[in-house]
Structure 1
Amino acid sequence: MVNTFMAKFYFWNLLSAHVYETSLLRFAVGVFAAYKLAPAAEARLGGLQSVQYLFCVLLATSLATSSLDFFLYVLFRNEARLFGASYGYGGLLGALLMNLVANSPQRKVWPEAPAPVRPYVSALQLRQLPLTLCVTASVLSALGLTAVVGHGVTFLWLGSFGGWAYLRYVAMSRAGVRGDFREEFKLVALFPAVCRRPLETVGAFAFGIMILLGFFKERVAHLRHLASAPDPELMDPSPVLRNPVIGLDLSGAARYALGGSTQDGGANGGGGGMPLAKRRGDPVAERRRELAKKALDERLRELEEESMNDWSDDGEEEEEDPEAGLLGDAGSNK
Structure 2
Amino acid sequence: MEIGGRIAVIFGGHGFIGSHLARELVASGKYVRVVSADIAPQPRFRSKGVEYIFCDVRSPIPADLAPGVTEIYNLAAVHVTPGPEDWEYYWTNVSGALNVTQYARLARVKTLLFTSSISVYGPSEDEISEFSDPNPESSYGKSKLLAEGIHQSWQLEEPRDRKLVIVRPAVVFGFQERGNFTRLARSLERRAFFYPGRRDTKKACGYVKDLVASLEFARRSEEMLTIYNFAFDEPVTTEGICAAFCRVANLPEPKFTIPISLILLGGLAFELLSKLGLKTPINRARVLKLFRSTNIVPKKLQSDGFVRQFDLVAALRDWRSQSPVGRFE
TM-score normalised per structure 2: 0.26
Higher helix fraction: Structure 1 or Structure 2? Answer: 1
Higher strand fraction: Structure 1 or Structure 2? Answer: 2
Higher Cα radius of gyration: 1
